[in-house]
Structure 1
Amino acid sequence: MSAEHRPEYPARTPSPPKRPVRPPQPARPTSDTKPKSAAPAPHGRARMSMINRRAATWGLEAAPWTAAKASGAVVARLRDWGYPATDRAARDLTALLVSTAVADGGRRVSVHLADQDRQALIVALSHRTGLTVADETLLPQLAALGAVSCGTDTAVDGRRLWAVLDL
């Protein structure tokens, strides 16, 4: 005769989750579903986009040392991409663009770099709002440093300064 075995404690059950289970996130739009047109931004200026090329971006504090740091980063990235012969021109152009953006008086500066067809695009964005006057002496200085094309525009969100350099 076998005696039925009864445990002296209740069966162990898993504890409930500490956080409720979140439903799955909706699918993000892919590049196939994004519109191909450059729609103007809310402030009236078309957004900058660099598509189908190598690119790099740095967000920096607007400080006196920012131009040197950005110049070094741009030259290092161009070397990584196989363009070592343009170190001086890239360094000088980046330093001038960034120091001009820092002089706008904003709290931060963004530096963007892209390459295509043996040319580099270097862009500095100052994020100071309310700028209305553009510096007219900047473009001849950029051209003297080796820029094959350059420009600047001012909008509600700050000033965009750019230069194209042959590599």
Structure 2
Amino acid sequence: MEPNTEAEAIKPRPDYPPRTPPPPKKPPSPPPPQIRLGPSSLPHRQRSGRGGRPVMRNRQGAAWSLEAQPWAPGKGFTAVADRLRKWGLTAPDCLEDLVRHLVATVVADGGRHVSLHLAEQDGQILLLAFSHQPQLPDLEADVLSRLRELGAGSCGTETAVDGRQVWAVLDLTA
């Protein structure tokens, strides 16, 4: 038999198409780094953003931001009384007057808003009002004595570059 030249010409050669190698496999990812716990990797003591003061721990706390308006003292008292009730604590009788005086003091500093903070520990509550007003007017001379008259066990004020803080500590009734 003679080879058919036409059939041979149409028949593909055995090396056509050229055999291409398969694409390379993705190399395995390296193992994650080993985490070693040493003294330098332990968490640091938490600090707040302002002045490096410690963060409140191991006690109940709450905070509210209020507009610096004439109604802010009443709204602040309502928020504090509701939170104490939620925690199952009995508010002292002097609480309303004291909260109203604290908030009214920082509202008088001017500004757009004030903060009211509440913390409870060991049968006492701490109330802190913050003005957020950098340029502060002079504080009335009788603010701290008035807080004492209203029933604060201790009280104080602190002026910082970002506002004035006025605080009072009260004993809870049993």
The answer to whether TM tops 0.5 is: yes
Q: Does 1:35 find its partner at 2:45?
A: yes
Q: Does 1:90 find its partner at 2:100?
A: no
Q: What letter corresponds to residue 83 of structure 1 in structure 2?
A: L
Distance, in Å, in 2 between the alignment partners of 1:39 and 1:58 is 18
The alpha-carbon distance between structure 1 residues 85 and 71, as it changes in their structure 2 partners (threshold 3 A), is: closer
Q: Does 1:162 find its partner at 2:171?
A: no
Structure 2 match to 1:3? none
- TM-score (ref. length: structure 2): 0.69
Distance, in Å, in 2 between the alignment partners of 1:105 and 1:145 is 24
Distance, in Å, in 2 between the alignment partners of 1:48 and 1:61 is 27
- TM-score (ref. length: structure 1): 0.71
Secondary structure at the counterpart of residue 35 of structure 1: coil
Q: What letter corresponds to residue 43 of structure 2 in structure 1?
A: T
Structure 1 outlier segments of 4+, above 4 Å: 36-40
Distance, in Å, in 1 between the alignment partners of 2:54 and 2:147 is 20
Larger Cα Rg: Structure 1 or Structure 2? 2
> RMSD over aligned Cα, in angstroms?
2.1
Distance, in Å, in 1 between the alignment partners of 2:77 and 2:112 is 19
What are the within-5 Å matches in structure 2 for residues 40-51 of structure 1?
Answer: 41=51, 47=53, 49-51=55-57
Runs of 5+ unmatched residues, structure 1: 1-31
Q: What is the CA distance between 1:47 and its match in structure 2?
A: 3.5
Q: What is the CA distance between 1:131 and its match in structure 2?
A: 2.0
Q: What is the CA distance between 1:90 and its match in structure 2?
A: 1.6
